[in-house]
Structure 1
Amino acid sequence: MLAWLAYLTASVVWGSTFLAIAFAIETFTPFGLSAVRFIPAGILALLIGQIRKERFPSWREIPHIALVGITLLGVCMGLIGWAEGRVSSGVTAALGATVPLFLALMDPRGLDPKAWCGLGMGFLGVLVLLWPSGQGPALSGAAALVLSASLWAYGTLYGKRHADESGHFSQIGVEMLVAGVLSLLAASLTGGISHGTWNPRSLLAVGYLITFGSILAYSAYIYLSKVWPCAKAGTYAYWNPIVGVLLGCWFRGETFHARMLPGLACILLGVALVQIPWPKALRFGSANQGAKQISR
C-alpha cells in the first residue's frame, strides 16, 4: 500500500512541477533554480532525518549517494530548467516520459512482452495527448530533455544497485545538498542565480518545488525505486503529462481538445499493461501448454 501511495505522489506532484518550473525560470537561471531549490530542501530533509533518529550515511556510502544526487538533481534538473526556456512545459513532460523506456532498455529484467507493449503504448499515448498543441520543440531543448531522461534512468539504476542502510531522509538530504551546492557553483560560472526581478509567482513556485517537488515527491520516488522494478516505477512519467494538461486548462485557460482523449486512453491502457499482472490461470495455463509441447 505504501508503494502505491508513493507511486501516486510521484505521478501527481511531479506532473505539477513542470508548470512550477516554467514559472520559476521566469526569474531564476537553470542552475540558480536548482541551487535555491535543493540547498534548503537538503537541509530540511537532514533535519527530518535527525528528528526521526535515522542513521547518517557512512563515509564509504557518501560517494555513491552523492553521485546519485549529482546525476538526478544536479545535471538532470539543470537540463530540464535550461530546456524549459526553449520548449513548452507540455513538450518537457512528453519527452520526460521517455524515462520508463530508458529504464527498460538499461534494465530489462522482469519485463514480459505485455510490459514492453505497455511501455510503448503509454509513450504513444503521451505523444497523441500533446499533439494538438502544435508546438514543435526546439532541437536543442529536445536533445537536452532526452539526455536528461537517459541520465535519470542511469542514476536511478545506480542508486538501486548501491542501496545502503542509511536513513531515508538522511540519504536524500545528502543527495539534495550535494546537488544544490554544485548547482550554486555552476550558477556562479553560467550567469548567476537569477536573470530578472524576483516576483511573487516565481518565489511561490520555488517554495512549491522545495516542499512538494523535492521533499515529498523525490523521497517517494527514491523509496519506490527500491521496492519496485525500476521500469514499473518509471511509469509515473506517463501520468505527468496528464496532470500537466489538466493544470494548463485550469490555471492557464488552455483548451482541452477532443483529440486528446485517444491519448489519455492509450496512457491508461499502457500503464495497466505494465502494472497489472496477468491472471494466474492465464500465466500457468500458457506455461503448462508450453511444457506439454516440449514433452511431445
Structure 2
Amino acid sequence: MPNSHRLSTEGILLLIGLAIGWGINWPIMKFIISEIPPLTFRGFCLCLGGLGILGIARFSGLSLQMPRGFVQKILWVCLFNIIAWNVLATYGLSLLPAGRSALLGYTMPIWTVLLSIWVLQDKFTLRVGIALLLGAAGVFALMSESLISWFGGPIDNNLLIGAVLMIVAAWCWAAGTVMMKRWKIPINTVVLTGWLLLLASIPVLIAAAIVDGLPQKMPSHLALWGVFYNVFIAFMFCYWAWVRLVSLVPVSVSSLSSLITPLIGVLSGILLLGERPGWPEFSATILILGAVAVVNFTTAKITTTKPVAGDPTQ
C-alpha cells in the first residue's frame, strides 16, 4: 500500500474516531483509577479487549495464526506500544490532572518523528519540522510551572513524577509505533490488534495480582460503565484504528495528526471532572492545533489512498 504524506478520507475518519474515543477517555480513566487499582483496571481491559477483537476476527473468517518468523517482533511491539504505554501512562495519570496527562502523553509525536528519521529514514521536510517545533513548544508550555519551580520555588514531587512517567510512556509508545512501521508485520490489522492487547494483558494481570491484590469492594456503577467504555471503545475500536492509521501514512503524519486527541482530553477534563486549566493548557492547545494544521491542511489536494488487492493489513 502506498503511503500518502497527507491523510486520506479513511485516515481522517479514523483520526476523528481516535480523537473522540481516546480524548474523552482521559477523564474517564482518572475517575476509574480512583476506585479500581491501575494495574487491575488496565489488565482487565487489555484482556477483554483482546479477546473481543480476536473473537470478531474469527467470526469474520480471518485466520488468527501469527505469521512465522514475526512472533518475536510482535512481542517487542507489544512490550513498548501496549504494556509500557498503558502501565506508565496510568500511573502518571494518577498523579496529574486528566487534561495535563493527555497533553504530556501526546509528546509521542515528537519522539516518533525523531525515531522515524533515524530508524525509517523518513524525509525531514520543512512542514514536519515546523509542526514538530509547534508541538514541542506546547509541551514546554505545559512543563513551564515545573520548570519555574526548579529555579527557586517549591517542587511538587507528584506533579514532577507524573510528568516524567507520562513522557517516558510517550517515548515507549513512539518506539513501538516505529517498530510496527519498520517491520511491516504481514497480518490483518484486526488480528494484530487483538493479539497485541491479549498478549499484553498476561504480564499486566500477573503484576496486578501481586501489586494490587484482591479487590476490597465492588466499584460503583459509574466506574463499571467506564470500564465498559474502555473495553469496547478505547481498546477494541481505538487500538484497531491506530494500528490501521499507522499502516496508511508515514508515522510522522499519523503521530503529529493525533495531537488533536489531548485537546479533547483537556475539554473532557473540564466538563466531566471540573478541572480548571490555566494559561499553560490554553497556550499548548493553540500550539498543538497549529502543529496539526501545518502537517495536514495545506493547499495541496488531499490524496485518497486506495488499498492494494490482497493487502493483509485490511
Aligned to 2:209: 188
Deviates further, 68-77 or 145-154 = 68-77
- Cα distance change on mapping 1:120 and 1:254 into 2, 3 Å: same
How many angstroms apart in 2 are the aligned matches of 1:194 and 1:228?
Answer: 43
Residues 123-177 of structure 1: per-residue CA shift (max 9 Å, x gap): 4346658979x99662222111111111111111111122222222111111110
Q: Summarize the alignment of residues 236-247 of structure 1 with structure 2, pairs less than 5 Å apart.
A: 236-247=257-268
**Distance (Å, rounded) in 2 between the aligned partners of 1:260 and 1:30:** 25
Question: 1:193 Cα shift?
Answer: 6.0
Q: Which residue is 2:312 aligned to?
A: none
| Separation (CA, whole Å) in 2 of partners of 1:122 and 1:103 | 12
Aligned to 1:292: none
CA distance in 2, matches of 1:197, 1:252: 22
CA distance in 1 between counterparts of 2:281 and 2:82 reads 31
1:44 alignment partner, one of 41, 47, 52:
52
- The counterpart of 1:274, out of the listed 295, 298, 302, is 295
Q: How many pairs align?
A: 280
Structure 1 match to 2:221:
200
Among 3, 13, 23, the residue aligned to 2:11: 3
Listed as ranges, the matches of 1:33-72 within 5 Å are 33-56=41-64, 57-72=66-81
Q: SS at 2:266's partner residue?
A: helix
Per-residue CA shift, 1:61-105, capped at 9, x if unaligned? 333223222322212101111112212112211211210000011
Give 2:194's aligned amino acid. Answer: G
TM-score, normalization: structure 1?
0.84
Picking from 109, 116, 127, the partner of 1:114 is: 127
Provide the rounded CA distance (Å) in 2 between the counterparts of 1:255 and 1:188: 35
Task: Give the Cα separation in 2 of the matches to 1:168 and 1:260.
Answer: 35
Aligned-pair distance for 1:15? 1.1
Report the CA distance between 1:246 and its aligned residue: 1.7
Cα deviation for residue 198 of structure 1 reads 1.3
Q: Which residue of 2 aligns with 1:77?
A: 86
TM (norm. structure 2) is 0.80
| 1:215-226 to 2 correspondences below 5 Å | 215-226=236-247
Structure of larger gyration radius: 1
Listed one character per residue, the Cα deviations across residues 1-41 of structure 1 (whole Å, up to 9, x for unaligned) are 11221122222211112112111211222221121101111
Q: Which runs of 5+ in 1 are unaligned?
A: 281-296
Asked if 2 retains the 8 angstrom alpha-carbon contact of 1:10 and 1:236, the reply is: no
Distance 1:8 1:111, change over 3 A: farther
Counterparts in 2 of 1:14 and 1:191: CA distance versus 1, 3 Å: same
Do residues 165 (structure 1) and 178 (structure 2) align? no
1:101 corresponds to which residue? 110
Task: Report the Cα distance in structure 2 between the residues aligned to 1:17 and 1:236, rounded to whole angstroms.
Answer: 18
CA distance in 1, matches of 2:227, 2:115: 32
Per-residue CA deviation, residues 173-201 of structure 1 (Å, 9 max, x unaligned), is 11110111111111122223646541112
Q: Distance in 2 between matches of 1:193 and 1:225?
A: 38
Counterpart-to-counterpart distance in 1, 2:281 and 2:176: 32
Distance 2:92 2:281 in 1: 24
Give the % identical residues. 22
Task: Give unmatched runs, 5+ long, in structure 2.
Answer: 1-8, 150-154, 302-314
For 2:162, the equivalent position in structure 1 comes to 141
Q: Residues 106, 194 of structure 1: CA spacing in aligned structure 2 closer, same or farther, 3 A cutoff? A: farther
Of the structure 1 ranges 216-225 and 82-91, higher mean CA displacement relative to structure 2 is found in 82-91
Paired letter, 1:116: G
Deviates more, 1:137-146 or 1:208-217: 137-146
Q: 1:48 to 1:6 in 2, by over 3 A?
A: same
Secondary structure of the equivalent of 1:85? Answer: helix
